[in-house]
């Protein structure tokens, strides 16, 4: 039984009432309870089972990355509105006292802080690229990660979070290997969601590039079919939610970080990411807020 009539706020309030999420006062940030986390871990394990053939190296990176990565990949040109640079206080004793007074007086204090060398990570695969040079064999390499990412998109809509986890796979290798791998996963990802009773469909997509110039970048990304998403209705039937995203970067990251194959040939990369909270929410919306009542076939798949 669907949890709600595909309504964003009713779905949010339903999850809160069922105890699955705990609001903390800022839109897009909330706590998750043990039921939510159990479903998330089980879904993540189902992805791992699906990927056995990939023989991927597994890593976890912290939610902060070197700020230079954002600069090198042009993130601030394309998505400055989503960035979460980390700032700290570099002043002396007197400045600290002034800062404290301003805060206690309820004033603004952002200009007393200065940018640090780290930033919150906006894309699960970013921390990987600086580690790849010299590690990619001629047949290519696949790496998987489970990372927290940050996007500055405060919204009361529960699938639009400021911080969430992505189970990511990245392939780096000869272009034909990378494209074949991406196409295999597009099928696998859609099939996994369908096998969990979710009405998934794949579609060409584009990123939310900033400003007028961004519209052209998005159009060209669509035309070249560089981005696909697998979508599932969660808060709307007409505008289903992207639960899984597939990106072919061509040589964008290999050029930026000097990643080449052993024979010096060009390497390309592609990545795919399951938005874990969104996949969990899609399950709750489709089958109801109590996993104990979910269809047997879905339960067997997640709790084998
Ligand atoms: Zn990625």
Ligand 1 center–CA 232 separation, angstroms: 20
- The reported pLDDT for the residue numbered 167 is 98
289-292's contacts with Cβ under 8 Å and 24+ in sequence apart are 289/3, 289/14, 289/15, 289/18, 289/20, 290/18, 291/35, 291/38, 291/39
Ligand 1 center–CA 39 separation, angstroms: 23
Domains of the chain: 8-84+122-302 (3.30.930.10), 85-119 (no CATH)
Ligand 1 center–CA 69 separation, angstroms: 13
The CA-atom distances, in angstroms, between 113 and each of 15, 84, 86, 108, 202 are: 37, 14, 10, 11, 44
Total-model pTM = 0.96
Ligand 1 center–CA 258 separation, angstroms: 18
185 closest CA partner among 217, 249, 228, 218: 228
Give the whole-angstrom CA distance, residue 124 versus residue 269: 14
Give the whole-angstrom CA distance, residue 273 versus residue 189: 10
Pairing of strands 268-275, 141-150: unpaired
Ligand 1 center–CA 251 separation, angstroms: 14
Ligand 1 center–CA 171 separation, angstroms: 10
The CA-atom distances, in angstroms, between 263 and each of 23, 139, 169, 172 are: 53, 11, 24, 14
280 closest CA partner among 104, 62, 30: 30
Ligand 1 center–CA 105 separation, angstroms: 43
- The reported pLDDT for the residue numbered 123 is 97
Ligand 1 center–CA 80 separation, angstroms: 17
Ligand 1 center–CA 206 separation, angstroms: 13
- The reported pLDDT for the residue numbered 1 is 85
Ligand 1 center–CA 167 separation, angstroms: 10
Ligand 1 center–CA 189 separation, angstroms: 15
- Per-chain mean pLDDT for the chain: 96
Ligand 1 center–CA 46 separation, angstroms: 19
Q: What is the pLDDT of residues 221-262, one digit of tens each?
A: 999 899 999 999 999 999 999 999 999 999 999 999 999 999
- The reported pLDDT for the residue numbered 184 is 95
Q: What is the pLDDT of residues 102-142, one digit of tens each?
A: 999 999 999 999 999 999 999 999 999 999 999 999 999 99
Contact 257, 225 (CB under 8 A): no
Ligand 1 center–CA 12 separation, angstroms: 27
Ligand 1 center–CA 271 separation, angstroms: 5
- Which residues of the chain fall short of a pLDDT of 70? none
């Amino acid at each position: 039984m669907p949890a709600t009539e595909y309504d964003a706020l009713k779905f949010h309030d339903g999850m809160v009432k069922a105890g699955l999420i705990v609001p903390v006062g800022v839109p897009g940030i909330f706590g998750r309870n043990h039921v939510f986390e159990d479903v998330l871990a089980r879904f993540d394990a189902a992805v791992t089972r699906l990927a056995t053939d990939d023989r991927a190296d597994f890593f976890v990176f912290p939610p902060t990355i070197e700020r230079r990565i954002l600069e090198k990949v042009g993130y601030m040109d394309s998505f400055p509105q989503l960035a979460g640079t980390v700032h700290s206080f570099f002043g002396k004793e007197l400045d600290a006292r002034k800062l404290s007074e301003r805060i206690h007086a309820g004033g603004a204090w952002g200009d007393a802080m200065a940018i640090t060398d780290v930033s919150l990570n906006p894309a699960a695969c970013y921390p990987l690229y600086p580690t790849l040079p010299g590690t990619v064999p001629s047949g290519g390499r696949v790496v998987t990660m489970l990372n927290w990412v940050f996007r500055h998109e405060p919204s009361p809509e529960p699938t639009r979070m400021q911080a969430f986890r992505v189970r990511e796979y990245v392939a780096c290798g000869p272009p034909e290997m990378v494209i074949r791998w991406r196409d295999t996963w597009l099928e696998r990802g859609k099939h996994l969601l369908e096998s969990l009773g979710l009405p998934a469909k794949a579609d060409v997509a584009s990123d939310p590039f900033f400003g007028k110039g961004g519209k052209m970048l998005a159009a060209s990304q669509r035309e070249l079919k560089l981005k696909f998403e697998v979508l599932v209705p969660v808060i709307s039937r007409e505008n289903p939610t992207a639960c899984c995203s597939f990106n072919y970067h061509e040589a964008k990251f290999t050029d930026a970080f000097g990643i080449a194959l052993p024979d010096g040939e060009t390497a390309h990369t592609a990545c795919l990411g399951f938005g874990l909270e969104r996949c969990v929410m899609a399950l709750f919306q489709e089958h109801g807020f109590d996993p104990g009542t979910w269809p047997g076939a879905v339960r067997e798949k997640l709790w084998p």
